[in-house]
Amino acid sequence: KDEKKWFLNSSLWKRKSLLFKYFIFFLLLTSLFWSFHNNKKNTDFIAKVHLEGLISDRFDVLEKLDKIYENKNLKGLLLVTNSPGGTFVSSKEIFDSLRKISEKVPATTYIREVGTSGAYLASLGTEKIFVNNGTITGSIGVILQSADLTSLLENLGIEPVIVKSGELKTVPNPLEKINDEKLKYMNNIINKMQNQFVNLVKERRNLNQTSIELISDGRIFTGEEAKKINIVD
């Protein structure tokens, strides 16, 4: 009986010992998993965002920038730009988001083949702008395009009927002839937006009067030329 009792106690002890070892192993495995998970979650990083194609209602880019800004592990941002530009408002929205990030961490733009007009405006939101010698940039300006189709419609025997609340409503309208008053009105709007753009470049790039005069007519520059007038780094 004593021998049988000893055998049972010994087997019970072995089972308890084995269960205890399994329990310790499980705790170690769980600890390693959470340690790996937390380290991965808390890893510092530099974000890279691509700005490509036409800039119009680019909520995809704005959403990415917002998420990046909110991440506590963000240590820097690289914006890779390859775009001919787009609308003034959409470009300015991206500029504002980049400015917010650049106040938190270092932010830099690299313009590849093209970064003109609104794309250049957006890039001004970062602290530095780098280019290739063959990059095309600049085109600092605002454009409004329309057409006068009245002669074509007249030849087709079509007479437009236009009812509006004011003389300058829907200007420019391709179904109406343009006159000096309407042209002056449109030029005034464009010039105001142009001044906003140029003043932004002047402020962000600390340009002298010679450079301001060069960029104000909306011309494009190669990367090499842009460096000489200090609109890129």
What are the catalytic residues? 117, 169
Q: Do the beta carbons of residue 100 and residue 68 sit within 8 Å?
A: no
The position carrying tokens 């959403």 is: 63
DSSP alpha helix (H) spans, the chain:
2-41, 59-70, 88-102, 118-123, 150-155, 180-205, 209-215, 223-228
- Closest by CA to 120, choosing from 107, 104, 133, 131, is 131
Alpha carbons 216 and 204: distance in angstroms, whole number: 15
Burial of 129 (0-12, 13-18, 19+ CB in 10 A): buried
229 Cβ contact list (under 8 Å, min separation 6): 207, 210, 211, 214, 215, 221
Q: Cα 8 vs. chain centroid, distance in angstroms?
A: 73
Phi, psi of 110 (to 5 degrees): -120, 115
